[in-house]
Chains A and B, each alone.
Chain A
């Protein structure tokens, strides 16, 4: 046992080293400068913490009886590989004191990491000191990073002397980080959701409303922490303190997101209603308070909420994987653009004249254009829907993806119709009662605040329709179709009609979102409508929790809002986002706020594509999930 755990710690250290090497490669220490080493040590402490905690939880899940009686209850009867027979005093000590064991493991892992980092940076520094050139591209970034790691500025590289003390310092820093992590894990107990516990405490101490706030704080705290780390850690010195607006935007995002958590976690009934109303008031007041930039980000977030809600109908409710959803977004945007921008193509003006609109005195207002855009998108949805009715699963995904690309390529290449890559400029802004807010302040509202408000109202409307439909017989038919298409049909569901309705309604919502997007952007270009828009929309509903409207809002805040906060460090934005996406899927595959129905999804044998043997694996899955999901899952169960 002791041997195994030593091997595990060394492995943790090796992974930690690989992880830090990656950070060095992409150039983070160079950005941070001399303070790189402590910061990296802190990051690695966080990493050790996660890893040790997961292993501790995993260990507990596997041997529930351990910790109580150790292995002592049974004589050592195994032979061969599983020999547990070396019951040294060390082993006895470790099983008796899991905290000490964890701290020791952290120490070992930290030592491994530190030693490797020291050796590698030593080699680099020595090489540089001797003037050995390292291969082309790499020599620009890596030496600076490594130099920063041992506290040398780029200018001093040539004189970089390799000091033993510095090596020792490196090793000690990481060893300390590891020990710290081990202690932190053991201090938190088996569940390690100290934050959630304080929320639980608050719930008991104060009244119900305050209680739910306390609970939400407990749940949201890890997120706040994560956002903080992302914000402080990644941009480094360059972004730090540069823009107050960004900080406020971050706070806005976090407040909205944690508000949603509070609603979900408060007790159903009066308490929940109060929290929901408070949240609603807070959000509706935002457009009036935030500045132009913050409003524009929040507007984008809620445009994507609409997208997410629409795509959720197709993917989440009806189970049809659509990767070309951007097509309808684009159709909505371009339809509005045609109707409201000075650009005129002979085809479009001809069409407008046919419709009885004079082509040179433009133009349909936002509200007149809205039904047109929605209808066009819906028609697009049906036109895509008909040919792909027979396709399933991944085939459907790739065909819709192709469809989305075809639409984009047409926009790019049909210059006469769409002005090609030059895009359509000067799209008019939505007006209310004949007053257009473009450029000027519209009462208390900035122009972007106005867009945000519109997005807010439209998404509320869309969410309302989506929720109502989902709880009707149509929603049941969609879900039945997703579960088993053949049986649904044999039970009386008209597949063609039901599928086409899903496509059409989803497309209509995307059309609405597209129109508002065009109004927000004022100028639109084909490159606004790449595959990545579809991927963003899909990712946000999955990250948020597929099938759950609240989850979709949360997903949009996280995936469309947070990256804007990180804009100062553009290159790191996407990498961080991408890594978070992967980690998110592993840690919480059902999304942040899954709908009640899908909470079982992670263990659904069919979904896993595993036939009935999936059932057999069920035990494995949930065990791993228990082990892998940090604070959130455990904490939530605890406070309920």
Chain B
């Protein structure tokens, strides 16, 4: 398998603090990779660099062979990278369906004039967009919730809706920032199953940040560990769990011993 995403020497500095320090990383097409590490290790900052919210001072980010550096966030989304957020950031006053429709924004091309005149082509496109948005909501398990205003959705559903919105842009790489945060075990299981289906049925490459070690260990094919912005370990879940540096910096002896410890922090 070829690497879909490849990071070389990526470094991001915030006023003297090196948030991401010379990180190299390769993510294979159709793989599921987890990024773990203590709070403030630079995980979300790395995601922000990938999606164009931050521009790394040093380094190269290649997606499918071409550089993402210097592109605007919407251009990066256009290339096929979509994401969700650690603290859910839906368009709160829009319905679930509208959220997904915004996700599809890039894939719609009817001109604004045609929207005013309601040309047949524009109508057809809108219709198709709504249909596929419904299909996406069904896919993540939000069937029947299309017209619910997103702030009124239960917490777990909001996380699912974020995934559906990200899918709207037809991504090849999906970045999930703590998808299971704040979920109870059964919701977490649902999310893990969804992640698998995304990869298996839609062929999307998954790159996720997660604190829940149970999720990380059971879902990922490879794991990368960040600490103080540096990558301190990388490998299969088993390798990482056995890594002395990881245990010291992050897991603590207890977790490493109990194989699948109880839910870690929410």
Q: Which of B110-159 contact A (CB under 8 A)?
A: 110, 112, 115-118, 122, 126, 129, 149, 151
Contact call A477/B91, Cβ cutoff below 8 A = no
List, in ascending order, chain A residues with CB within 8 A of B115's CB.
468-469, 471-474
Q: Which of B65-106 contact A (CB under 8 A)?
A: 72-74, 76-78, 82-83, 85, 89, 91-94, 98, 101-103, 105-106
Q: Decide if A291 is an interface residue (CB 8 Å cutoff).
A: no
Q: Decide if A288 is an interface residue (CB 8 Å cutoff).
A: no
Closest 8 pairs between A and B when the two form their complex, measured CB to CB = A472-B115, A492-B106, A483-B91, A492-B77, A490-B73, A480-B102, A489-B73, A468-B116
CB distance from A483 to the nearest CB of B (A): 4
CB distance from A315 to the nearest CB of B (A): 15
Contact call A600/B149, Cβ cutoff below 8 A = yes
Q: What per-residue 1/0 map shows which CB atoms of B44-84 lie under 8 Å from chain A?
A: 00000001110000000000000000001110111000110
Q: Decide if A479 is an interface residue (CB 8 Å cutoff).
A: yes
Binds B, one of A74-82, A416-424, A493-501: A493-501
| B74 interface neighbour in A469, A490, A598, A600, Cβ under 8 Å | A490
Contact call A480/B91, Cβ cutoff below 8 A = yes
Contact call A477/B112, Cβ cutoff below 8 A = no
Q: Which of A484-525 contact B (CB under 8 A)?
A: 484, 486-495, 501
List, in ascending order, chain B residues with CB within 8 A of A575's CB.
none
Contact call B105/A487, Cβ cutoff below 8 A = no
Q: Decide if B31 is an interface residue (CB 8 Å cutoff).
A: no
List, in ascending order, chain B residues with CB within 8 A of A492's CB.
74, 77-78, 103, 105-106, 169
Given the interface pairs A491-B103, A493-B105, A494-B74, the reply to whether A469 lies near B112 with Cβ below 8 Å is yes
Contact call B93/A491, Cβ cutoff below 8 A = no
Contact call B77/A606, Cβ cutoff below 8 A = no
Q: Decide if A390 is an interface residue (CB 8 Å cutoff).
A: no
Contact call A487/B116, Cβ cutoff below 8 A = no
Contact call B98/A493, Cβ cutoff below 8 A = no
Query: How many angstroms between the C-alpha atoms of A538 and B85 in the bound complex?
Result: 34
Sample 8 A-B pairs with CB under 8 A, ordered by A number.
A472-B115, A474-B115, A483-B92, A487-B91, A489-B74, A492-B103, A501-B112, A606-B92
Query: How many angstroms between the C-alpha atoms of A168 and B230 in the bound complex?
Result: 86
Query: How many angstroms between the C-alpha atoms of A567 and B102 in the bound complex?
Result: 48
Nearest A residue to B118, CB-CB = A468
| A491 interface neighbour in B52, B108, B165, Cβ under 8 Å | B165
CB distance from B177 to the nearest CB of A (A): 12
Query: How many angstroms between the C-alpha atoms of A502 and B80 in the bound complex?
Result: 27
With a 10 A CB-CB cut-off, give which of A465, A468, A476 has the most chain B CB atoms.
A476
Q: Decide if A597 is an interface residue (CB 8 Å cutoff).
A: yes
CB distance from B242 to the nearest CB of A (A): 36
Query: How many angstroms between the C-alpha atoms of A473 and B133 in the bound complex?
Result: 13
Q: Decide if A601 is an interface residue (CB 8 Å cutoff).
A: yes
CB distance from B149 to the nearest CB of A (A): 7
List, in ascending order, chain A residues with CB within 8 A of B168's CB.
491
With a 10 A CB-CB cut-off, give which of A468, A473, A484, A493 has the most chain B CB atoms.
A473
List, in ascending order, chain B residues with CB within 8 A of A604's CB.
92-93
* Apart from the given pairs A476-B101, A491-B74, A600-B149, 15 other A-B contacts in the complex at a CB distance below 8 Å: A464-B116, A465-B116, A469-B116, A472-B110, A472-B112, A472-B126, A476-B98, A480-B105, A483-B92, A483-B94, A487-B85, A487-B89, A491-B77, A494-B74, A501-B112
Nearest B residue to A484, CB-CB = B89
CB distance from A489 to the nearest CB of B (A): 4
CB distance from A465 to the nearest CB of B (A): 5
Contact call B91/A484, Cβ cutoff below 8 A = yes
| A480 interface neighbour in B76, B85, B94, Cβ under 8 Å | B94
- Chain A: residues with CB nearer than 8 A to chain B? 464-465, 468-469, 471-474, 476-477, 479-480, 483-484, 486-495, 501, 597-598, 600-601, 604, 606
List, in ascending order, chain B residues with CB within 8 A of A487's CB.
85, 89, 91
Contact call B93/A476, Cβ cutoff below 8 A = no
Interface secondary structure of A, over-half rule: helix
Contact call A598/B93, Cβ cutoff below 8 A = yes
Nearest B residue to A505, CB-CB = B112
Query: How many angstroms between the C-alpha atoms of A164 and B206 in the bound complex?
Result: 89
CB distance from A392 to the nearest CB of B (A): 16
Query: How many angstroms between the C-alpha atoms of A1 and B229 in the bound complex?
Result: 62
CB distance from A375 to the nearest CB of B (A): 16
Nearest A residue to B116, CB-CB = A468
List, in ascending order, chain B residues with CB within 8 A of A598's CB.
93
Contact call A476/B92, Cβ cutoff below 8 A = no
Query: How many angstroms between the C-alpha atoms of A140 and B154 in the bound complex?
Result: 65
Contact call A597/B93, Cβ cutoff below 8 A = yes
Contact call B74/A493, Cβ cutoff below 8 A = yes
List, in ascending order, chain B residues with CB within 8 A of A600's CB.
93, 149, 151
Q: What per-residue 1/0 map shows which CB atoms of B197-225 lie under 8 Å from chain A?
A: 00000000000000000000000000000
Contact call A473/B91, Cβ cutoff below 8 A = no
With a 10 A CB-CB cut-off, give which of B78, B93, B101 has the most chain A CB atoms.
B93
Q: What per-residue 1/0 map shows which CB atoms of B151-186 lie under 8 Å from chain A?
A: 100000000000001101100000000000000000
CB distance from A496 to the nearest CB of B (A): 9
List, in ascending order, chain B residues with CB within 8 A of A474's CB.
112, 115
Query: How many angstroms between the C-alpha atoms of A493 and B122 in the bound complex?
Result: 18
| A477 interface neighbour in B51, B73, B105, Cβ under 8 Å | B105
Query: How many angstroms between the C-alpha atoms of A480 and B90 in the bound complex?
Result: 9
CB distance from A618 to the nearest CB of B (A): 10
List, in ascending order, chain A residues with CB within 8 A of B110's CB.
472-473
CB distance from A119 to the nearest CB of B (A): 53
Given the interface pairs A473-B110, A489-B74, A491-B103, the reply to whether A479 lies near B92 with Cβ below 8 Å is no
Query: How many angstroms between the C-alpha atoms of A479 and B99 in the bound complex?
Result: 10
Contact call A491/B105, Cβ cutoff below 8 A = yes
| B93 interface neighbour in A477, A483, A489, Cβ under 8 Å | A483
With a 10 A CB-CB cut-off, give which of A468, A477, A597, A604 has the most chain B CB atoms.
A468
CB distance from B77 to the nearest CB of A (A): 4
Contact call B53/A476, Cβ cutoff below 8 A = no
Query: How many angstroms between the C-alpha atoms of A483 and B98 in the bound complex?
Result: 12
Query: How many angstroms between the C-alpha atoms of A52 and B108 in the bound complex?
Result: 55
Query: How many angstroms between the C-alpha atoms of A555 and B84 in the bound complex?
Result: 40
Q: Which of B228-253 contact A (CB under 8 A)?
A: none
Contact call B102/A493, Cβ cutoff below 8 A = yes
List, in ascending order, chain B residues with CB within 8 A of A491's CB.
74, 77, 82, 102-103, 105, 165-166, 168-169
Query: How many angstroms between the C-alpha atoms of A43 and B168 in the bound complex?
Result: 59
| A473 interface neighbour in B82, B85, B105, Cβ under 8 Å | B105
CB distance from A125 to the nearest CB of B (A): 58
Contact call A489/B72, Cβ cutoff below 8 A = yes
Query: How many angstroms between the C-alpha atoms of A491 and B126 in the bound complex?
Result: 18
Nearest B residue to A496, CB-CB = B72
With a 10 A CB-CB cut-off, give which of A476, A484, A490, A501 has the most chain B CB atoms.
A490
Query: How many angstroms between the C-alpha atoms of A489 and B85 in the bound complex?
Result: 14
